[in-house]
């Protein structure tokens, strides 16, 4: 049981929710995506997605770019180097936790 405590300390709370895990998973593969893409891919409401994106932005794990495409506003998101590093560390911690505590 002591091993579990040791590995859990490396789990990043910023990525505990399914939505944030999904957002970062998409942004690790795609250089940048727009709000509509994330909403469709993750099946989240506008408000739910916006709040999770804001939290990741506050941690400086993602960047945000607002622009107009034609006359329509468009917001794009991408993972920052800090966000990429934090997410990889989080995934590594999860893997260590799982592999160490296999039955």
pLDDT tens digits, residue range 53-100? 999 999 999 999 999 888 999 999 999 999 999 999 999 999 988 888
Tens of pLDDT, residues 10-64: 889 999 899 999 999 999 999 999 999 999 999 999 999 999 999 999 999 999 9
Place of tokens 């506008």: 46
- Rounded to an integer, what distance in angstroms lies between the CA atom of residue 38 and that of residue 43? 8
- Rounded to an integer, what distance in angstroms lies between the CA atom of residue 102 and that of residue 4? 11
- Mapped onto helix, strand or coil, the DSSP state of residue 37 is helix
Which CATH architecture fits 2-100?
A: Orthogonal Bundle (1.10)
Please check whether residue 50 is in contact with residue 42, taking contact to mean a CB–CB distance below 8 angstroms: no
0.85 cut: is pTM over it? yes
Please check whether residue 41 is in contact with residue 25, taking contact to mean a CB–CB distance below 8 angstroms: no
């Amino acid at each position: 049981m002591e091993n579990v405590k040791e590995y859990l300390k490396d789990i990043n709370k910023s990525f505990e929710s399914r939505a944030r895990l999904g957002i970062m998973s998409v942004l690790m593969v795609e250089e940048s995506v727009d709000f509509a893409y994330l909403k469709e891919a993750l099946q989240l409401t506008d408000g739910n997605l916006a709040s999770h994106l804001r939290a990741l932005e506050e941690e400086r794990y993602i960047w945000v770019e607002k622009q107009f495409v034609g006359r329509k506003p468009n917001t794009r998101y991408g993972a920052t180097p800090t966000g990429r590093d934090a997410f990889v560390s989080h995934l590594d911690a999860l893997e260590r936790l799982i592999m160490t505590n296999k039955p």
